[in-house]
Amino acid sequence: DGGITQSPKYLFRKEGQNVTLSCEQNLNHDAMYWYRQDPGQGLRLIYYSQIVNDFQKGDIAEGYSVSREKKESFPLTVTSAQKNPTAFYLCASSMGQGAAYGYTFGSGTRLTVV
C-alpha cells in the first residue's frame, strides 16, 4: 500500500544535540511538507518542498533544516538552535498544486528533550 512512513515514532534529544527525523513516501507525490503540532496551537508549517533539490521555509523554520535529494525522501533535522523542540512532528505529501490534490500525512514522530 502507498503511504508515508515516519521514523522513529519516539525520539529523545539531549540539550545541544542535533537529531534527524525521517520521512519517506511511495505515493510518487511531488510536494512534501513538515508540520509541527503543539497542544493548543494547531499545526504550523516548518518547511516544504515542491520538487527535488528545492525547498522553502514555512512559518517557523528557525532552528530546523531539511534536504530533498530524492523525490521519496524529505528528512528534517532539528538543530541545537531550536530552543523548544519538544513537539509532535508530522510529515505530509501532495501530488501537486491543483485544487483536486489533498494532503496525505504520516503517523508522526514525537520528539522530547531530556
Number of residues that bind another protein (CB under 8 A): 29
Q: Which is nearer to another protein, 82 or 94 (CB)?
A: 94
Half-sphere exposure in the Cβ direction for 7 (13 Å, CA) = 4
Lookup: cell for 40? 493548543
From the list 34, 36, 76, 106, which residue makes contact with another protein (rule: CB under 8 A)? 106
Stretch 61-90: interaction string toward another protein, x if CB under 8 A = ---------------------------x-x
Contact (CB, 8 A) for 30 and 50: yes
From the list 11, 13, 22, 43, which residue makes contact with another protein (rule: CB under 8 A)? 43
Which DSSP string do the residues of 25-66 spell out, in sequence order? Answer: E-S--SEEEEEEEETTTEEEEEEEEEETTEEEE-TT-TTEEE
Contact residues toward another protein (CB under 8 A) are 6, 31, 33, 40-43, 45, 48, 50, 56, 58, 88, 90, 92, 94, 97-108, 110
